[in-house]
């Protein structure tokens, strides 16, 4: 999704803004642009479609100077990916420019009014209304006596944001206030970075983490005015709001590719550590339980839970689906899992003892955020399972658990999934223990959890073998992924990984569902990936594999057991180590990720920035 970076300091802004934009590339975008207030005191803008390198070429050809600027990566929603539609947008006086993340839902009405007043629009975007509104209020004669240009600009921004419906994170420059950037937020993240003799504003810490780790998170309905060495936060009514400065703990190294060809591969290979980080310090053998203090629930609260509702999107939803099996099994609490986007609009039944879990890597997904707000409004206790510390979802929940996977940059989520599932298992142990799970079962499972990093290492050590299998299927047109029980969500995740980075039409199914329709598609060209670990359902899985083989479909089976039938029926078999049954979804996810990765690389796809996708989906 769109990204924002703004900078004020003593050095030229353009190189810092370009570097920031590159750090935001992972979010997905199709055009970019930059605006500065030049040494001549004028707003200068450069924009281009395509990758940031294209913008760099434009700037090389036509340099842009100034020690203050804002920049943007755009992921097209309203209007095509064109230079005109790219941000920053400038008003008709040429004195004010803005960048915007989010969607202005009432833009058509606002645009009509503004056009009636004689304002001319040059883009197809919803965002352009923002700059026209700010300009209109800034130059409004009623606003002229209202103090300095800075006060007028602050008032104009505050009057504007109160007119906007939808979501926004904006950054504003005005050449009459050449040492100031104004930011405002509602529903789309903005964070301030306090540097040495410099200040940053961005939609995401990654954009400036090489310069400072001192940050201030803006909350919804807040405006910030930043200069080179000061900042002031206010609400939309312009009343001061005091904010804490927080120190982020990420290392700059953590967000580089560290010698890997792609972020996705780096993140797949980080899983021994990221999974360890999800459970380390949380296994309490004395009490035979998991420590998840951030949930802030008493034993009485846990005993009173009569239903858990998990809501999330995409990969995080699949992690929640795995969680359903283990929570129901260990804690005996009924669990429902729902797409966040559907949850919000279906009048979900929330009772006083319903616990809602919102799972999100980024903590900024608009649908998940809307679902949690809906649940809170209906009186539910809402817990967040997030990766990004300080993200909006993490902050808006009543409590929660950080998965501590570290920054995930590749658009296809990998390490966040295995960390989310690990936390689901810890949660099941914790709730289970309060509700009657035996010490023995809990302690045994916790000991097995500690073996996970080693088992993940073993799969990573065999990645060349998985690559050999994967490249055989590069170019496949259609693929099914099938699994039973808690392998079904892993099948969904395998299909999602493959389709999003290789554009192969891939779908996941519960294996038994195949004969209720999907099997009609099987022919000698069709690939099926069968998730068949050792389990009481293995024989049934083998029967499903046989049904595919009987129709001449190609089969890759992933298993942790030696089984002659599997060997005989499958074109290829990927072996993984044996672990405790409850942990198998975590291990089975690894071959899914590696398979998708190597297929996509063999097909020369842009693995880290697949077409049409965004890392952080901050619009509905
Ligand atoms: C798939 C993927 C997406 C996200 C989904 C939710 O690889 O990354 O499906 O899982 O957009 O994002 P978060 O977890 O940030 O809420």
Render pLDDT for 305-327 as a digit per residue (tens, 0 to 9).
999 999 999 999 999 999 999 99
The residue among 600, 618, 598 whose CA lies nearest residue 24 is 618
Compute, in angstroms, the gap from residue 60 CA to the centroid of ligand 1. Answer: 36
Distance CA 435, CA 327 (A): 11
Compute, in angstroms, the gap from residue 413 CA to the centroid of ligand 1. Answer: 6
Compute, in angstroms, the gap from residue 411 CA to the centroid of ligand 1. Answer: 8
Distance CA 419, CA 426 (A): 11
Segment 243-265, tens digit of pLDDT? 999 988 766 656 667 678 999 99
Compute, in angstroms, the gap from residue 315 CA to the centroid of ligand 1. Answer: 5
Segment 280-302, tens digit of pLDDT? 989 999 999 999 989 999 999 99
CB 215, CB 194: distance < 8 Å: yes
CB 321, CB 489: distance < 8 Å: yes
Distance CA 431, CA 255 (A): 34
Compute, in angstroms, the gap from residue 164 CA to the centroid of ligand 1. Answer: 27
The confidence band for 33, taking pLDDT boundaries of 50, 70 and 90, is very high
pLDDT at 143: 65
Catalytic residue set: 2, 615
Answer whether 593 contacts ligand 1 (Cβ < 6 A). no
Compute, in angstroms, the gap from residue 318 CA to the centroid of ligand 1. Answer: 10
Distance CA 405, CA 419 (A): 6
Ligand 1 atom 6: residue of nearest CA: 313
Here the tokens at position 301 are 């609260």
Lowest mean pLDDT among 24-38, 46-60, 202-216, 557-571: 24-38
Identify the residue with better confidence: 616 or 452: 452
Query: pTM here?
Result: 0.79
The residue among 398, 395, 419 whose CA lies nearest residue 407 is 419
Nearest atom, ligand 1, residue 312 CA: 16
pLDDT at 337: 97
* Entry field: residues in the chain: 620
Answer whether 362 contacts ligand 1 (Cβ < 6 A). yes
Distance CA 29, CA 22 (A): 11
Segment 471-482, tens digit of pLDDT? 999 999 999 999
Answer whether 311 contacts ligand 1 (Cβ < 6 A). no
Domains and CATH numbers, the chain: 3-248 (3.60.20.10), 256-450 (3.40.50.10490), 461-604 (3.40.50.10490)
**Is the pLDDT assigned to residue 141 strictly greater than 80?**
no
The 10 Å Cβ neighbour count of residue 61 is 8
Ligand 1 atom 3: residue of nearest CA: 314
pLDDT at 602: 98
Distance CA 40, CA 143 (A): 26
Element (H, E) at 472: helix 463-472
pLDDT at 250: 66
The confidence band for 189, taking pLDDT boundaries of 50, 70 and 90, is confident
Lowest mean pLDDT among 20-29, 268-277, 532-541: 20-29
3-state secondary structure of 215: strand
Q: Which of 323, 370, 413, 416 gets mutated to test ligand 1 (max ligand atoms within 8 A of its CB)?
A: 413
CB 115, CB 121: distance < 8 Å: yes
pLDDT at 185: 96
Here the tokens at position 435 are 């509700």
Answer whether 607 contacts ligand 1 (Cβ < 6 A). no
From the CA atom positions of the chain, what is the Rg in Å?
A: 26
Answer whether 125 contacts ligand 1 (Cβ < 6 A). no
Q: Which of 75, 365, 401 gets mutated to test ligand 1 (max ligand atoms within 8 A of its CB)?
A: 365
CB 534, CB 485: distance < 8 Å: no
Ligand 1 atom 10: residue of nearest CA: 315
Ligand 1 atom 4: residue of nearest CA: 314
Distance CA 406, CA 387 (A): 7
Answer whether 277 contacts ligand 1 (Cβ < 6 A). no
Q: For 203, which DSSP code? A: S
Distance CA 429, CA 424 (A): 9
Element (H, E) at 527: strand 527-531
pLDDT at 472: 97
């Amino acid at each position: 999704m769109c990204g924002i970076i703004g900078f004020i300091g003593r050095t030229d802004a353009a190189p810092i803004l370009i570097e920031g934009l590159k750090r935001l590339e992972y979010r997905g975008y199709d055009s970019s642009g930059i605006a500065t207030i030049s040494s001549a005191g004028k707003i200068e803008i450069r924009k281009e479609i395509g990758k940031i390198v294209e913008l760099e070429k434009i700037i090389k050809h036509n340099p842009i100077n100034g020690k203050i600027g804002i920049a943007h990566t755009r992921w097209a929603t309203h209007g095509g990916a064109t230079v005109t539609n790219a941000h920053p947008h400038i008003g008709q006086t040429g004195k004010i420019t803005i960048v915007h993340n989010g969607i202005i839902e009432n833009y058509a009405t606002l645009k009509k009014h503004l056009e009636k007043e004689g304002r001319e629009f040059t883009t197809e975007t919803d965002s352009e209304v923002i700059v026209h509104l700010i300009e209109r209020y800034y130059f409004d004669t009623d606003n002229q006596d209202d103090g300095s240009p800075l006060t007028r600009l602050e008032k104009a921004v505050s009057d504007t944001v109160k007119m906007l419906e939808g979501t926004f994170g904006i950054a504003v420059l005005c050449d009459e206030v050449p040492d100031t950037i104004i930011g405002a937020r509602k529903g789309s993240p903005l964070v301030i970075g306090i540097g040495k003799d410099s200040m940053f504003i961005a939609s995401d810490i990654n954009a400036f983490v090489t310069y400072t780790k001192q940050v201030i998170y803006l909350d919804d309905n807040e405006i910030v005015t930043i200069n080179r060495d000061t900042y002031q936060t206010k609400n939309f009514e312009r009343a001061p709001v005091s904010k804490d400065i927080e120190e982020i703990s990420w290392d700059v190294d953590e967000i580089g590719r560290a010698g890997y060809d792609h972020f996705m591969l780096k993140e797949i290979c980080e899983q021994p550590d990221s999974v360890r980080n999800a459970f380390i310090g949380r296994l309490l053998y004395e009490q035979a339980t998991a420590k998840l203090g951030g949930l802030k629930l008493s034993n009485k609260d846990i005993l009173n839970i009569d239903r858990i509702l998990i809501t999330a999107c995409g990969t995080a939803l699949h992690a929640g689906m795995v969680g359903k099996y283990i929570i129901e099994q260990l804690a005996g609490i009924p669990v429902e899992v729902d797409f966040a986007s559907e949850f919000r609009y279906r009048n979900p039944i929330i009772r006083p003892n319903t616990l809602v879990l919102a799972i999100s890597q980024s903590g900024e997904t608009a649908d998940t955020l809307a679902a949690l707000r809906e649940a809170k409004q209906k009186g539910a206790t809402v817990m967040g399972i997030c990766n990004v510390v300080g993200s909006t979802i993490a902050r808006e929940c009543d409590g929660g658990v950080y998965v501590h996977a570290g920054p995930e940059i590749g658009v296809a989520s990998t390490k966040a999934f295995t960390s989310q599932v690990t936390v689901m298992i810890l949660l099941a142990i914790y709730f289970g223990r309060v509700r009657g799970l035996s010490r023995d079962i809990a302690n045994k499972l916790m000991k097995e959890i500690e073996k996970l990093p080693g088992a993940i290492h073993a799969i990573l050590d065999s990645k060349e073998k998985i690559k050999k299998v994967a490249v055989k299927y590069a170019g496949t047109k259609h693929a099914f992924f099938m699994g039973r029980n808690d392998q079904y969500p892993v099948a969904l995740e395998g299909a999602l990984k493959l389709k999003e980075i290789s554009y192969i039409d891939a779908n996941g199914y519960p294996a038994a569902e195949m004969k209720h329709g999907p099997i009609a598609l099987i022919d000698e060209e069709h690939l099926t990936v069968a998730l068949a670990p050792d389990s009481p359902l293995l024989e049934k899985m083998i029967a499903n594999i046989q049904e595919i083989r009987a129709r001449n479909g190609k089969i890759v089976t992933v298993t942790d057991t030696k089984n002659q039938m599997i060997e005989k029926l499958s074109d290829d078999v990927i072996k993984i180590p044996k672990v405790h049954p409850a942990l198998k979804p975590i291990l089975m996810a690894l071959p899914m990720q590696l398979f998708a990765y190597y297929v996509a690389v063999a097909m020369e796809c842009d693995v880290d920035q697949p077409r049409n996708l965004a890392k952080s989906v901050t619009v509905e």
